[in-house]
Structure 1
Amino acid sequence: MKRFFFLVFISFLLASCARVGSPVGGSKDTIPPRVTGSNIDSPRVNVPRDIRELRIDFDEYITLKDINKQLIISPPLKQITKILPSGMGNKFLLIKWADTLKENTTYNFNFGNAIVDNNEGNPLGYYNFAFSTGPKIDSLYISGELKSIFNEKDKKTEEGSLVVGLYQVKDSMDYRQKPYYITKADPDGYFELNYLAPGKYRVLAFEDSNSNSVYDIGKEKVGFLKDPITLDKSISGLNINLYPSRKAVKYLEMKEVPGGVLMTFEGNPENVKIIPLNEKLKDYKVTHSRKSDSAMIWFDATAQNIGITSNENLKFSYDNGVKKDSVSLFYRLNAKNEMSIANNRGNLLSPQQDFVIKSNYFVDKIQPEKWSLVSDSIKQEFTAEISEKNPFEIHIKSNFKEGKKYALTIPKETVSSFYETIKKSYRFEFEADKIENYGDLLVTLENAPTQKFWIELINESGTVAYSKYGIEKQINFKSIKPGKYDLRILVDENENGIWDSADFADNIFAEPVYIFNKKIEVRPLWEIRETWDLLNKQTENVENSKDIEKPKSTKTKEHLNTANPK
């Protein structure tokens, strides 16, 4: 009898200590939550405009993952007051709002992958809930693909941030507001806008990096169709490419830097004119490269007694072609600043390349006749010149022979800026690398652009490793480091020397881009030859296009988990 009571006691103790949770053992739950009902029942039409909440019931406990980023409501509701569950799991989802709904309007709540079960986190993928305040639910849709250009190095950060929106075409449209209809693209770039009403719309796609559902001009990538679309039937196969967006030109800031003052701008001003407004600052130089976002005011602070013992209020007027204004800063000379030069490209010199040294000052004058280049204690002939493209660089040319070691000596005061010179001597030691460690690439273009263009090799980190500008149909890249590269062409249609990005405000597309549809793998001692026809299937011309009813994706409207009424 005692044994019997002991066993009963142990069983009770074990039962009382047990915790409610996921069962141990057995197959893992992979089934997402299932909707069992809602406060807005089928057929979900003629819903009262004064309704203030949506409740959806499920067959198991759910939680919400990144609901503020995932949930998109079209048309947008401005005053969402509550979303549940928040934290602990629940068997229902509740959204409350303060807005009065519009009449005869279909509302779509797109939850993305935010709804997951509480135990295993299985998402109810791409779940939509739609209802109408009118007699019918609008059923038109638009589908297609987005592609973000120049995105290799930040591809992970962009995943899930690309969106497509429709604005109703009216006499006045405010693109600083959320689109009337909006949806997110999936990780492959496929998108669908569902439950759309007939009408005339402007299509806008952008990288919503701050998740505010509003296109931030100049900060986010953008793609658009040049003309509005008239939606009277569903559209599929819409292809939109996103480019860096053009920034409006405006002044940003000034700061003290070695040699003077740096003035920076947003955007790319064509030209910048700067005039000091202080009587003490009489001797100065202004440098600004065309379409650069920065300008430099160089001066000798010591000689003009500016900011030596205390902060000095320096004032400047500027004209950036868009605005004329005056600005000021409190300047104090940093006594540690001095002109210096360095080798930033490493001690192995690629075959058939110049040896390059870089200065932290604008290089105005060099005296290479006082320099020496030696190899095996023997002086070598060489030439040196300031780079036309970058006046902060000096290029040294010589008959560099592979496998040979070199030493370049630059005495003090032989490299100068406007008001400064190097105050010590420099010695740079380097070796001409062997050609057997590099490969070559010969590209022959067919149907090439008629305007000048850049042809570029992009390395695996997303950086332009090699670039050539011109109009040649046969381009020879010599002595390329082994690796895998993307090949692209940027067309300089207006031949202004820069590639112009997209300008949505003025309805201007980015200049054309062509991408070779396979990787270029460079191997040591290999010469790779590629014929690139820019009109055939080997090329992706990423100009925006509108291909109606020609889907280029294997995905269809049925891949979304919708809550359409039967």
Structure 2
Amino acid sequence: MKSLQLIYGLFVILLFSQCAKQSSPMGGPRDEDPPVQLEANPADQSLNIKPSEIIITFDEYIKLDNPNKNIIITPRLNKDEIITTALKDRVIIELNQELEDNTTYVFNFQNSIQDLSEGNPAENLKLVFSTGDFIDSLKVKGKINNYWPNQQYDARNVIIGLYLENDTTDLFTAAPYYLTRADSLGEFQIENIKEGSYKAYAWLDANNSTKAEFKSEPYDFLKDTLEINKNLEGIQFNLSQSDLTDFRLTRSSFTNGSYDFILNKNQVEENIQVQGLGEEIYYSTEDKRIRLFSTQSISDSLLVNLKLIDSVSNQIDTTIWAKFPETERRPEKLSLTANSGKNFTDTLFASLKFNKPVLNIRTDSLFIPVDSTTTIQIKEQMFSFKDSLKRTELLFRIPIPDTLGIEIFTLTAMDSTFRDIQGEYNEDPIRANYRKIKKETLADLLSGTVAGAEPPFIIQLIDAKNEVYKEQLVKNSKDFIFRGIEAGTYKIRVIEDKNGNGRWDPSNFYQERLAERVFYFLDDTGAIGAIILKSGWTNEGIIIQASKSTGILE
């Protein structure tokens, strides 16, 4: 009897515990209706209040989806102090901080509140109240653009932030005073702004920190202060990435036959001055490292003037005494790579890259085999070093007669063809294949003009692999022409090379310099256009409209 009573008691406890547990109902039709707000405390549009907590009641049980990210609160509050919980049909937000006087607060819940059963988000849920006598009503609207769309990201993770003009923080150091997120089309709107002067920024908040990471997250900024005394529209941001890390020489030393300069990031320009450069002294550049080589050991130290520039125009300008002592260590092996797999018509363009400066080349073991008895011997006039101070990249220009009945040509360098500055030879032969194609298989011409920007431009044809197929620098014209193009599908990219240095320059926030504009040929829908070229085709009259510059559009 006691056993039956014990079993019955356990059954009752289990039954009541299941009834009390918040869970999705079983069975029945699928719930497709979003939760509907029944009541809010404080009520929307309330005045002269400073609540310590916010309670919103719905018509069904609800749950929260990442409230720390998805609930946007303006002006800025310390989110670390806020506690947000879902309890049955209510959301409770404990603020745990003092609110500012005469300030309009906006809680935009986006998709953070969902019904418990199917995850349908509450629609257009926003709570606005003021600690003063009126609700601020100014707003700004605009759009974001991505200069490098191959580096894809969700526009909904982009924050647009306003900071008070006298605020000592910025997008890299603290969350903004007002913020919003862009929608899937890149459009944004910040509402209920207090009249005043603000600094405006946009950035990809990939790690959900509500501030930008200057090394890894694309960003943009308005150079001029926004005077918000009326509604503003047409604000344009163009996001791109730039590494603003300080540029440093971390160490320098003699290592295994070379004097090495180790950097914390790569340079885009280098100017090296040292006695004997290009005669007894040569150098190579690698990832975050510059290596000086000498043809012989030197008993005295050599004075080296090193001037380096990184991608955001930070500079290193230093003088170092370099040493080249005798060493018994075995030098590292000479290695090389070729740009094999390229197509050509009548002239074979090839390149070989070496890990160290090359001093001697045996042309008798450098050739292209045609058949078992015939070769094309590569002569000295057919190649040259790209940079005579480095001697680490060899460029070939080899004329190929049409009378040869083969399609694949193999640039061949036997072992011991190349001798580097440390006396090492290539130990293995290298064979790089290139395919000869007929001129009649090429598209004849692709031409057009750039509108809405001034030269110089870097015009790039981008192939189906998203690689630069051809590139030209247009200095004094808005027109461009490409000839002899392999059949295929291409995009056209334009870099507005304002300083004429032949490369794209990213922004530098600390120098108040915006990134150079990057834009594309667009189709009728506004998407990046695909240009299909076939043999013998001519495509003329293409107009590439420049994208909108960062700022407030008129």
TM-score between both structures, scaled by the size of structure 2: 0.77
Using the TM superposition, give the Cα deviation of residue 457 of structure 1 relative to its aligned residue in structure 2, in angstroms: 2.1
Q: List per-residue Cα deviations over 1:29-84 (Å, max 9, x = no partner).
A: 22221112222124421112xx3322222222222223233232222112533534
Counterpart position of 1:564? none
> What residue in structure 2 maps to residue 553 of structure 1?
none
In the other structure, the counterpart of 2:435 is: 432
| Aligned counterpart in structure 2 of residue 379 of structure 1, from 371, 375, 381 | 375
Q: CA deviation at 1:528?
A: 4.1
Contact 1:106/1:134, CA 8 A, preserved across alignment: yes
Which of 541, 544, 551 matches 2:547?
Answer: 541
* Secondary structure in 2 matching 1:409: strand
Give the equivalent residue in structure 1 for 2:81. Answer: 81
How has the CA–CA distance of structure 1 residues 429 and 216 changed in structure 2, closer, same or farther, with 3 Å as cutoff? closer
| Counterpart residue identity of residue 530, structure 1 | E
Name the count of aligned residue pairs.
499
Give the distance between the partners of 1:272 and 1:99, measured in 2 at CA: 55
Deviates more, 1:91-100 or 1:361-370: 361-370
Structure-to-structure mapping, 1:184-333, within 5 angstroms: 184-245=181-242, 247-251=244-248, 261=260, 263-266=262-265, 268=267, 270-271=269-270, 285-287=282-284, 294-299=288-293, 320=308, 321-322=315-316
* 1:58 aligns to 2:58 (yes or no): yes
CA contact (8 A) 2:366 2:377 kept: no
Contact 1:513–1:543 (Cα < 8 Å) also in 2: no
Pairwise CA distance, 1:359: 2.5
Instruction: Between 465-474 and 257-266, report the one with greater CA deviation.
Output: 257-266
Larger displacement relative to structure 2 (180-189 or 466-475): 466-475
SS at match of 1:160: helix
Paired residues for 1:153-172 under 5 Å: 154-155=151-152, 157-170=153-166, 172=168
How much does 1:244 deviate? 2.6
Structure 2 match to 1:486? 491
Aligned to 1:338: 333
Q: CA 1:269 to 1:21, structure 2 compared with 1: closer, same or farther past 3 Å? A: closer
Q: Is the 8 A contact 2:368 2:377 kept in 1?
A: yes
The correspondence of residues 117-132 of structure 1 with structure 2, limited to 5 A, is 117-125=115-123, 127-132=125-130
User: What residue number does 1:445 align with?
Assistant: 449
Structure 2 contact 248–316 (Cα < 8 Å) conserved = no
Following superposition, the deviation at residue 349 of structure 1 comes to: 3.0
Pair 172,432 (structure 1): closer, same or farther in 2 beyond 3 Å? closer
| Residue aligning to 1:30 | 32
- Displacement of 1:105: 0.8
Counterpart of 1:108 in structure 2: which amino acid? Answer: V
What is the correspondence of 1:30-49 to structure 2 with a 5 Å cutoff? 30-48=32-50
1:262, distance to aligned residue in structure 2 (A): 6.0
CA-CA distance at 1:516 after TM superposition: 1.2
Is contact 1:73-1:108 (8 Å) kept? yes
Distance in 1 (alpha carbons) for counterparts of 2:204 and 2:316: 27
In the alignment, the residues of structure 2 paired with residue 90 and residue 200 of structure 1 have an alpha-carbon distance, to the nearest angstrom, of 43
Equivalent position SS for 1:68: helix
The amino acid across from 1:404 in the alignment is E
Aligned-residue offset at 1:141 = 1.0
Shift of residue 195, structure 1, vs aligned partner: 1.0
CA pair 530-362 structure 1, distance change in 2 beyond 3 A: farther
TM-score by length of 1: 0.76
| Pairing 1:330-369 to 2, within 5 Å after superposition | 337-346=332-341, 349-351=343-345, 353-363=348-358, 366-368=361-363
Please name the residue that 1:411 is paired with.
Answer: 414
1:415 and 1:349 mapped to 2: Cα distance? Answer: 25
What whole-Å deviation, never above 9, does each CA across 1:244-278 have from its counterpart, x for those lacking one?
Answer: 33625422756989977462334746546699xxx
Comparing 32-41 with 292-301, which one deviates more in the overlay? 292-301
Match of 1:454 in 2: 458
Q: SS of the residue aligned with 1:80?
A: helix
CA shift in 2, pair 1:147/1:461, >3 Å: farther
Deviates more, 1:360-369 or 1:92-101: 360-369
Query: Given that residues 141 and 234 in structure 1 are in contact (C-alpha distance below 8 angstroms), is that contact kept between their aligned partners in structure 2?
Result: yes
Write the letter of the residue equivalent to 1:408. Answer: L
Deviation at 1:117, TM superposition (A): 1.6
Give the counterpart letter for 1:374 in structure 2.
P
- CA deviation after TM superposition for structure 1 residue 427, in Å: 4.0
- Whether 2:490 is the aligned partner of 1:497: answer no
1:336 shift after superposition: 9.2
Aligned to 1:6: none
- How far apart, in 1, do the equivalents of 2:408 and 2:32 lie? 64
Q: Tell me the distance in 2 between the aligned counterparts of 1:478 and 1:498.
A: 24
5+ residue gaps, structure 1: 1-14, 276-282, 305-315, 549-566
The whole-number CA distance in structure 2 between the counterparts of 1:338 and 1:82 is 60
Q: String of CA shifts for 1:469-488, please: whole Å, max 9, x gaps.
A: 243633215333623x3211
- Conserved 8 A contact 2:349-2:397: yes
Output one character per residue of 1:390-419: Cα deviation in whole Å (capped at 9) or x when no partner: 954323222335852333332344324432
What is the CA–CA distance in structure 2 between the aligned matches of 1:219 and 1:146, rounded to whole Å? 18
Q: Does 1:476 align with 2:482?
A: yes
Q: CA deviation at 1:449?
A: 6.0
Which residue number in structure 2 is paired with residue 105 of structure 1?
103
**Which amino acid in the other structure matches residue 221 of structure 1?**
P
1:423 is aligned, of 411, 423, 426, to 426
| Structure 1: distance between partners of 2:465 and 2:157 | 21
User: Matched residues in 2 for 1:476 and 1:117: separation?
Assistant: 58
Superimposed CA distance per residue, residues 525-551 of structure 1 (whole angstroms, 9 cap, x where no aligned partner)? 2524132345xxxx1324224235xxx
- Given that 2:62 and 2:90 are in contact with CA atoms closer than 8 Å, whether structure 1 keeps it comes out as yes
Which amino acid in 2 is paired with 1:106?
A: T
Larger relative contact order, structure 1 or 2 (CA cutoff 8 Å, min sep 6): 1
Matched to 1:468, the amino acid is: Q
Which segment drifts farther, 105-114 or 470-479? 470-479
Q: What is the aligned partner in structure 2 of residue 307 from structure 1?
A: none
Question: Structure 2 regions of 5+ residues with no counterpart?
Answer: 1-14, 275-279, 299-303, 309-314, 524-528
Letter in 1 for 2:385: I
**What's the counterpart of residue 532 of structure 2?**
522
**Is the Cα contact below 8 Å between 1:249 and 1:269 reproduced in 2?**
no
Residues 166 and 98 of structure 1, relative CA distance in 2, 3 Å threshold? same
